[in-house]
Amino acid sequence: MPSKTAKILILGGGFGGLFTALDLPGAGEITLVSDEDHFTFKPMLYEYLSGEVAAWHIAPNFSELLDDVKIVRGDVSSIKLENRSVSIEGRQAPLTYDVLVLALGTTTNYSGVEGAEEFTLPFRTISDANHLRRRMTETLDRIQVDAAPQDTREALTFVVVGGGASGVELSTKMSDLLRDAVKRRALRGEPRVIIVEMTDRLVPGMGDEIREYVERELDRHRIEVHTRTRVARVSKTGLTLEHNGRETEIAAAGVVWVAGVRMNPLIEKLDVEKDKRGLILVEPTLQVRGHQNAFALGDIAFYPDVAPTLSGTAQLALQQAHLCARNVRAFLNGERLTTKHFVELGEALSLGTEHAAVLSAGKVMAGPLARQARFAMYTARLPTWHHRLRVGASWFFEGTEPRPLQPLGF
């Protein structure tokens, strides 16, 4: 097939899809399909919630990042590998392709908990962060200035379900934002932020050194941690926890659900070889088994030879995207496809608006300096040089101060 006119269809504009597209200029007629008009650098969604960064920093529009790539905004509704076609909701003619790149990511896993999908707030997108920020602000706005400390605490109870990195990063940011707002509004009392985790420890999969630091920070932020605790059900006004067979009800102004991920429903329906968690089995070249012209990467793909701690991470999807683009080109040019060993690029946890912890080469750096290091590390991973430079300059010259939860209407 003449490679310059080959149709390359990329599904998903996250770490896997966008970074593949960025590495493919001139490889063919490229189309990227996404249900959003922008990329989201999810590891910094917590900083967006706190206002330390703006939407344009971490969620630039595809049109600003990609030249010569056709962007189709819409929901993919079906993928037919045998016909080489993909349908988009509300669009009559399906899109056809010569080469397909699947990078559709995962969704929130509510694990069948009663009321969870209906009443909790997810935290995966810019709009999720906006909703949570608004919920916190509206809750603060309803508290009377002369409220008793206990009433303030009850009104300002927020629960984060899931004690992984997301739960820790989110709860510390929420705690700092709420505490700052209580002070600014001269309210009496303090917020109550709770983490609920089903296993016996927080941040499973991370080393003991970083966990010790995380625990100290949670303590400093006065976050209440409930391990070995299951959410039995969620309602409009709160949730019921179960620990050691005993149930406790907690009234909450908001419950945020960051307890695990579920395979994208489109991938669940796709008839290809998968592992027992539903991840697509790919060859070391990222080709979907039995489908040479289809590639899969990121959270939906099971790649042999990947450390368990790397799977389901942006750093893996990012590295795979470079290999994917290289192999798409090789496939179209009739050349030999290659493989790659993916490495850990270091981990960084945001811990409130002033601190962070960075784990690199087995060493933990923590505190305000680690926060700066985290910003520097993530600037380098943003898409395109041009965007990195603009964002880097903005953070350097305009600063990264959090934006207080001002009363609505200000």
Ligand X SMILES: Cc1cc2nc3c(=O)[nH]c(=O)nc-3n(C[C@H](O)[C@H](O)[C@H](O)COP(=O)(O)OP(=O)(O)OC[C@H]3O[C@@H](n4cnc5c(N)ncnc54)[C@H](O)[C@@H]3O)c2cc1C
Query: Which residues lie near ligand X (CB under 6 A)?
Result: 12-17, 33-36, 42-43, 45, 75-76, 103-105, 123-124, 166, 264, 266, 298-299, 312-315, 317
Smallest distance, Å, CB 361 to ligand X? 17
Helix (H/G/I), strand (E/B), else coil: 88: strand
Q: Measure the CA angle with vertex 166, ends 217 and 161; round to 5°.
A: 95
Beta strands in 289-397 (DSSP E): 291-296, 301-302, 347-351, 355-360, 363-367
Question: Distance from first CA to last CA of the chain, Å, rounded?
Answer: 59
Task: Kindly tell me which of 155 and 211 has the beta carbon lying closer to ligand X.
Answer: 211
Task: Kindly tell me which of 42 and 221 has the beta carbon lying closer to ligand X.
Answer: 42
Task: Kindly tell me which of 42 and 329 has the beta carbon lying closer to ligand X.
Answer: 42
Q: What are the residues facing 230 on neighbouring strands?
A: 242
CA distance 108 to 110: 6
Token pair recorded at residue 97: 């392709």
Task: Kindly tell me which of 122 and 189 has the beta carbon lying closer to ligand X.
Answer: 122
Smallest distance, Å, CB 238 to ligand X? 23
User: 407, 141 in Cβ contact below 8 A?
Assistant: yes
Smallest distance, Å, CB 34 to ligand X? 5
Task: Kindly tell me which of 47 and 143 has the beta carbon lying closer to ligand X.
Answer: 47
Q: Which of 33, 18, 21 is nearest to 72 (CA)?
A: 33
Smallest distance, Å, CB 141 to ligand X? 26
Task: Kindly tell me which of 124 and 289 has the beta carbon lying closer to ligand X.
Answer: 124
- 27 backbone φψ class: left, alpha, beta (φ>0; ψ -120 to 50): alpha
Smallest distance, Å, CB 296 to ligand X? 9
Smallest distance, Å, CB 81 to ligand X? 16
Write the DSSP symbol of residue 94.
Answer: P
Rounded to the nearest 10 degrees, the angle between the axes of helix 208-220 and helix 165-184 is: 20
Task: Kindly tell me which of 76 and 253 has the beta carbon lying closer to ligand X.
Answer: 76
Smallest distance, Å, CB 194 to ligand X? 19
Q: Judging by beta carbons within 10 Å of its beta carbon (0-12, 13-18, 19+), is residue 310 exposed, middle or buried?
A: middle
Token pair recorded at residue 41: 């650098």
Smallest distance, Å, CB 356 to ligand X? 11
What are the b/e assignments for 227-261, b being 16+ CB within 10 Å?
Answer: eebbbebbeeebbbbeeeeeeeebebbbbbbbbbe
Task: Kindly tell me which of 225 and 316 has the beta carbon lying closer to ligand X.
Answer: 316
